[in-house]
Amino acid sequence: MKPLAIFGGTFDPVHLGHLSVAWEASELLDADVRLMPASVPPHRPAPTASAAQRVAMLRAALQGQSRLTLDTRELERAGPSYTIDTLIELRAEQGARPLVLLIGADAFAGLPGWHRWRELFDLAHIGILSRPGVGVVLPDELQREIADRRVDTAAALCEVAAGNVIDLAVTPLEISATRIRELLASGREPRYLLPAGLFDDFDLLSPYRSRR
Ligand code: ATP
């Protein structure tokens, strides 16, 4: 069965780094990928753009292809977006289908700060996306947790529904939403760091533009 991969984030805004790594992960795993914007990220400051604005940008970004889709369930739920709750829901919907949580290498290092983090492995595999420009040191408790979970091949993720960890060597793209917000706020136009669809409608990027 084709795995279902979930790529969560604030997407404030969605950029070509997100899209490229999600696309390559989908190819490497032969998986469908859902981009899942978070409403109130428990471990982060509030996003600059509203939930509706971030969804509008994601919709514009995903036009013209069907490999990556949008899942807005976390925005529809009240309260903080805990990944554990999302995975419990998805597991109930998907039965024994392998689920893969895609996480950038920087975010993965912070996993022990996530709500009920050890239980995530009961519900999904984790695919770690390489990300340049971030020196990642995994905390000891995380290293211990994943030591016996590591697998090298995508096929291994199809043998069981959850519990393995795989490194996904995606093309390194040093793009971050923080940098894009800074550029837009200073009046720059980072056209080729963002999906073209975000420039079709001037309003989409207005939450980030300087008001001068
Ligand atoms: P910010 O700069 O606001 O922190 P971000 O660019 O890291 O944003 P998020 O929406 O916070 O984007 O990230 C969602 C997920 O995408 C995280 O798992 C993050 O590690 C991953 N990610 C974001 N950009 C990249 C990239 N260029 N390469 C690989 N993974 C990425």
| Interface predicted TM-score (ipTM) | 0.98
Is residue 202 predicted with pLDDT exceeding 80? no
Give residue 127 CA to ligand 1 midpoint distance, Å.
14
- In short, whether 47's Cβ falls inside 6 Å of ligand 1 is no
201's CB contacts (< 8 A; 6+ apart) are 60
pLDDT given at position 136: 80
H/E run at residue 8: strand 4-9
pLDDT in tens, 111-154: 999 999 999 999 999 999 999 877 788 999 999 999 999 999 99
Residues 105, 24: Cα–Cα separation, whole Å: 15
Q: Which atom of ligand 1 is nearest to the CA of 10?
A: 10
- In short, whether 18's Cβ falls inside 6 Å of ligand 1 is yes
pLDDT in tens, 11-36: 999 999 999 999 999 999 999 999 99
CA atoms within 13 A on the CB side of 116: 13
3-state DSSP assignment of residue 34: strand
Give residue 11 CA to ligand 1 midpoint distance, Å.
8
pLDDT given at position 42: 57
CA-closest candidate to residue 130, choices 98, 74, 86, 169? 169
Q: Which two tokens stand for residue 166?
A: 């795989």
Whether 128 and 165 have beta carbons less than 8 Å apart is answered as: yes
pTM of this prediction exceeds 0.90: yes
pLDDT in tens, 33-82: 999 999 865 566 889 999 999 999 999 999 999 999 999 999 998 888 89
